[in-house]
Chain A
Amino acid sequence: MSSNRVPDTLTFECETGNYHTFCPISCVAWLYQKIEDSFFLVIGTKTCGYFLQNALGVMIFAEPRYAMAELEEGDISAQLNDYVELKRLCVQIKKNRNPSVIVWIGTCTTEIIKMDLEGMAPRLEGEIGIPIVVARANGLDYAFTQGEDTVLAAMAHRCPDYNGASPNTTNQDQAIQGLLSFLPLKARNVYEEQSVSTHPPLVLFGSLPSNVVSQLNLELKKQSIQVSGWLPTQRYAELPSVGEGVYVCGVNPFLSRTATTLMRRKKCKLIGAPFPIGPDGTRAWIEKICSVFDIQPQGLEERELQVWDSLKDYINLVRGKSVFFMGDNLLEVSLARFLIRCGMIVYEIGIPYMDKRYQAAELALLQETCNQMGTLMPRIVEKPDNYNQVQRMRELQPDLAITGMAHANPLEARGISTKWSVEFTFAQIHGFTNARDILELVTRPLRRNLSLENLGWTALVKKDKINII
């Protein structure tokens, strides 16, 4: 278990919360793709639909497994019966798509009119014979990636109970077996025999693309650690069993509710580790898991060095450059920690919400990294105020602002290079293998600057406007 405490020397500030981020319902965009047999029904208004339609872009034309249950005036004034209405839509979904689970996403409107989704779901579930999971991922309470957290926390309740007597079956491990299918059958058996685990079951939580899942599984396998399951899985029917005696560990910094649910409701033990983002984070993550299982990590140091070595060209580009995180997706602390380790100077880490307990190990590593690199501790600004941040950026003139799309073009026009933050959520950034992808993103504006250098038009707004927001 985590013994890390929040270091006192990091400073935390809290601003007004006037910042731009995506609505948490956006999590359906990646979760419906991750959980192949699911269907996401967002119960909300045209506002929610319009956001999804525009944020999802072309995905919307590919018959996605999501839809809006659009509330009309009759639903708001309670002239229509919510239960009957939802049943009608869910029956239709069952008929057309036949999913193994329907996830209801509650929105601001269902919160305000107090629609009892949690109450209706079990009843309807019984009637139509499809599990219905309720996640209230609304803009009143959460930001962007926290949407995934609410969905996974709700799913955690649906995980089968772990029965200590029988070892967790390994059917979640298909991805790995698939990878190894080139091996002759015999060798595969040997492999499996070798991998029979001696440690308590370990379940990882956080939605990642399946190849990243296999990469992380393999990384742990090299330390003789067997991952017995992931939350979520490729298919709803294959959710891992959890319960007393099962260890869980998060792969993303925004999963604090899921962690809490697994600990409190499912009695799992949480391994509090830094997140496997960047080679430093990945190594610390693995080491932490190893230490909990009393395993001596093998060859990790070399592995990390090797990765750093392969990043040299990019690191030469970023070293000494400064970054400003405006904050919108909760990956900020881990990314900042990695970039500091790459030699960058981080002025500010804006972040929508900071769970100091769940992120304790990550914060400790951030502090350690700052000490090691001899850089100043960045300020961590929770619930930032975008207007104030832009003022600060005017003073600081960072080499790079990591920001949402609402601010990217205006900042670029004022000569501040930007990287659009949402890309970090969709790119593959976990594990040793993907460290390069993070730097690929971070250096893109810097490389663009190199190739457009000396053209003389970096600030592209009229003089009098540069200082005006």
Chain B
Amino acid sequence: MKLAYWMYAGPAHIGTLRVASSFRNVHAIMHAPLGDDYFNVMRSMLERERDFTPVTASIVDRHVLARGSQEKVVENITRKDKEERPDLIVLTPTCTSSILQEDLQNFVNRASSTSYSDVILADVNHYRVNELQAADRTLEQIVRYYLEKARKQNTLNQSISNIPSVNIIGMFTLGFHNQHDCRELKRLFQDLGIQVNEIIPEGGSIENLRNIPKAWLNIVPYREVGLMTASYLKKEFGMPYVAITPMGIVGTAEFIRQIEFYINKWAPILLGKTVNYESYIDQQTRFVSQAAWFSRSIDCQNLTGKKAVVFGDTTHAASMTKILAREMGIHVVCAGTYCKHDSDWFQEQVKGYCDEVLITDNHTDVGDMIARLEPSSIFGSQMERHIGKRLDIPCGVISAPVHIQNFPLGYRPFLGYEGTNQIADLVYNSFTLGMEDHLLEIFGGHDTKEVITKSLSTDLDLAWDSDSLSELSKIPGFVRGKIKRNTEKFARQNSLSKITVEVMYAAKEALNA
């Protein structure tokens, strides 16, 4: 048992539902108690979805506990089959089905014999995988199912397309800025003369999955979801894949170069020539994206050496760390991720770009780390944004978990060249907002304000007397927190329980010495 208040990644079934409901005409039936269809609320609210979320529950109640759920599950599948004629029905287990240990596969077999739709059981175990891992698996499972089916029926489309083409794998519902990223990638490929073959799962149709092998290569923009599918396709069909995230100027260039590399394996045969994207990269970098110029400008110079902390999923946290460190000269004091299952990759990626690495899914560890390092800015998820609020440190949101404000109506990709502009704005705004605040304080803008004790740890056994408090309030905001903490540290070390002005000065001298 574990005491928990907040989780970064949701339970497994959420991952399965996100993948299933991203496809067109696929319906998911959860094997779950009443109340577990909260996914529908999230999708309807966060994505402001106009259509009914194609997810229903086959409800587990007392009755079902006593008699088993076979009849009900089969009935619900056949009913959905008649009502909506989906191409595929995905039976989705939850934590409840994990412990009931009923033979769901058997129910699926029975139901599929009478329904027009295909029916599969999502192969995810609540206690073994989280939301992201489950999404990765489910996507692979569906792709595999249809490619094997096509192979059996001899309808597999294996002839490779005449002009270079790619599949984009891993765009899906409730993903962080996925819709915008998807549009940006399509634009990039259009610029490069590359055809987009299939995009899965978002908006993809089951029917078209058999066309997947037509593409020259696969693109996996986000590490969390799509890698399993890509490696399955590599193994079965020899399709190469690019798993570099085109985020940031350097990242995007690397991404394009990798694609060029794979395209040139076929290009001499099919196009009669090789492709070269260097001039495109150069043009985009220097003139289309503003980010390269921004990093040379005086604005960005002022950010040099400023301290930042990065936390998020592996894809976004790793990319962001590299952007801050190598493209903007910002000092990343700590980079971290909650994707514990992929920590080796993360460590390797950020090595050399930050002072420390934090791998945890416990938000209090993250909070304490931030309080200890006192960065000028945080780049993290919604949780870090709130930690930032409490500590008075600005935060740019760069990763899920997200809120409704992370589903902007306007165009805000994080990937590609437009993405670099968005990120530059985000970084710049996070730092300048913080600086403006400090300037205001220095020039007396906030003088009447009470001193806020900004500390996340709860060991407040120290009392500040009124003189020391007023002295503290005269110290400019951006160092006040640090002085406060240093003084308290000093007091604790010297077993002083009351802090006076004298103690403050003694602490200053002791620490400066």
- Could you name 12 residue pairs across A and B whose Cβ atoms are closer than 8 Å? A17-B59, A18-B56, A23-B38, A24-B35, A46-B10, A46-B126, A80-B1, A86-B1, A96-B458, A108-B33, A139-B34, A460-B50
Beyond A49-B4, A72-B1, is A109–B44 a contact (Cβ under 8 Å)?
no
Q: Quick check: which of A61-69, A155-163, A174-182, A309-317 contacts chain B, the rest being far away?
A: A61-69
Q: Are A54 and B59 in contact (CB under 8 A)?
A: no
Q: Are B35 and A55 in contact (CB under 8 A)?
A: no
Beyond A21-B35, A409-B50, A410-B51, is A109–B386 a contact (Cβ under 8 Å)?
no
Chain A nearest CB from B44 CB (Å) reads 5
Chain A nearest CB from B57 CB (Å) reads 7
Chain B nearest CB from A295 CB (Å) reads 42
16 new A-B contacts, CB < 8 A, other than A112-B65, A406-B41, are A19-B34, A23-B34, A47-B13, A69-B2, A73-B127, A76-B99, A82-B1, A92-B3, A109-B95, A112-B99, A138-B33, A139-B35, A140-B34, A408-B44, A409-B49, A409-B50
Beyond A50-B10, A406-B44, A409-B44, is A109–B99 a contact (Cβ under 8 Å)?
yes
Is A427 located at the chain interface by the 8 A CB criterion? no
Is B105 located at the chain interface by the 8 A CB criterion? no
Give CA–CA (A23, B35) in the complex, Å: 4
What per-residue 1/0 map shows which CB atoms of A12-48 lie under 8 Å from chain B? 0000011111111100000000000000000101110
In the bound complex, residues from chain B placing their C-beta under 8 Å from that of A58 are 386
Give CA–CA (A20, B60) in the complex, Å: 14
Is B100 located at the chain interface by the 8 A CB criterion? yes
Among A93, A113, A141, the one with the most B-chain Cβ atoms within 10 Å of its Cβ is A141
Give CA–CA (A43, B84) in the complex, Å: 37
Q: What size tier do the contact residues of chain B reach? A: 35 or more
Q: Are A140 and B60 in contact (CB under 8 A)?
A: yes
Give CA–CA (A50, B52) in the complex, Å: 21
Chain A nearest CB from B30 CB (Å) reads 10
Identify the closest chain A residue to B56 (Cβ): A18
Q: Are B62 and A141 in contact (CB under 8 A)?
A: yes
Q: Are B96 and A109 in contact (CB under 8 A)?
A: yes
Is B94 located at the chain interface by the 8 A CB criterion? yes
Identify the closest chain A residue to B40 (Cβ): A406
Beyond A18-B56, A50-B14, is A69–B50 a contact (Cβ under 8 Å)?
no
Identify the closest chain B residue to A147 (Cβ): B35
Q: Within B1-28, which residues are at the interface with A (CB < 8 Å)? A: 1-7, 10-11, 13-14
Q: Are A53 and B59 in contact (CB under 8 A)?
A: no
Question: How many A-B contacts at CB < 8 Å in the complex?
Answer: 164
Q: Indicate which residue in A60, A71, A108, A143 contacts B5 across the interface (CB closer than 8 Å).
A: A60
Is B83 located at the chain interface by the 8 A CB criterion? yes
Is A212 located at the chain interface by the 8 A CB criterion? no
Is B265 located at the chain interface by the 8 A CB criterion? no
In the bound complex, residues from chain B placing their C-beta under 8 Å from that of A407 are 44, 52
Q: Are A406 and B53 in contact (CB under 8 A)?
A: yes
Q: What size tier do the contact residues of chain A reach? A: 35 or more
Q: Indicate which residue in B50, B56, B62, B386 contacts A61 across the interface (CB closer than 8 Å).
A: B386
Chain A nearest CB from B506 CB (Å) reads 32
Beyond A17-B59, A45-B11, A112-B99, is A469–B35 a contact (Cβ under 8 Å)?
no
Chain A nearest CB from B175 CB (Å) reads 16
Is A75 located at the chain interface by the 8 A CB criterion? yes
Q: Indicate which residue in B34, B45, B56, B94 contacts A409 across the interface (CB closer than 8 Å).
A: B45
In the bound complex, residues from chain A placing their C-beta under 8 Å from that of B6 are 53, 60
Identify the closest chain B residue to A80 (Cβ): B1
Chain B nearest CB from A54 CB (Å) reads 6
In the bound complex, residues from chain A placing their C-beta under 8 Å from that of B282 are none
Beyond A67-B3, A89-B1, is A46–B95 a contact (Cβ under 8 Å)?
yes
Is A461 located at the chain interface by the 8 A CB criterion? yes
Q: Are A46 and B34 in contact (CB under 8 A)?
A: no
Is A293 located at the chain interface by the 8 A CB criterion? no
Is B442 located at the chain interface by the 8 A CB criterion? no
Is B42 located at the chain interface by the 8 A CB criterion? yes
Closest 9 CB pairs of A and B: A23-B35, A139-B33, A406-B40, A413-B50, A139-B35, A85-B1, A61-B386, A45-B95, A46-B11
In the bound complex, residues from chain B placing their C-beta under 8 Å from that of A25 are 35
Is B48 located at the chain interface by the 8 A CB criterion? yes
Q: Are A70 and B96 in contact (CB under 8 A)?
A: no
In the bound complex, residues from chain A placing their C-beta under 8 Å from that of B4 are 49, 67-70
Q: Within A453-469, which residues are at the interface with B (CB < 8 Å)? A: 460-461, 465, 468-469
Chain A nearest CB from B102 CB (Å) reads 11
Is A191 located at the chain interface by the 8 A CB criterion? no
Chain A nearest CB from B15 CB (Å) reads 11
Is B260 located at the chain interface by the 8 A CB criterion? no
Give CA–CA (A19, B83) in the complex, Å: 16
Q: Are A139 and B44 in contact (CB under 8 A)?
A: no
Q: Indicate which residue in A68, A75, A141 contacts B3 across the interface (CB closer than 8 Å).
A: A68
Q: Are A405 and B45 in contact (CB under 8 A)?
A: yes
Chain B nearest CB from A262 CB (Å) reads 24
Q: Are B36 and A410 in contact (CB under 8 A)?
A: no
Is A106 located at the chain interface by the 8 A CB criterion? no
Chain A nearest CB from B429 CB (Å) reads 22
What per-residue 1/0 map shows which CB atoms of B431-447 lie under 8 Å from chain A? 00000000000000000
What per-residue 1/0 map shows which CB atoms of A66-104 lie under 8 Å from chain B? 011111110110001010011011001100100000000
Q: Are A51 and B35 in contact (CB under 8 A)?
A: yes
Chain B nearest CB from A46 CB (Å) reads 4
Q: Are A71 and B61 in contact (CB under 8 A)?
A: no
Is B37 located at the chain interface by the 8 A CB criterion? yes
Give CA–CA (A407, B126) in the complex, Å: 27
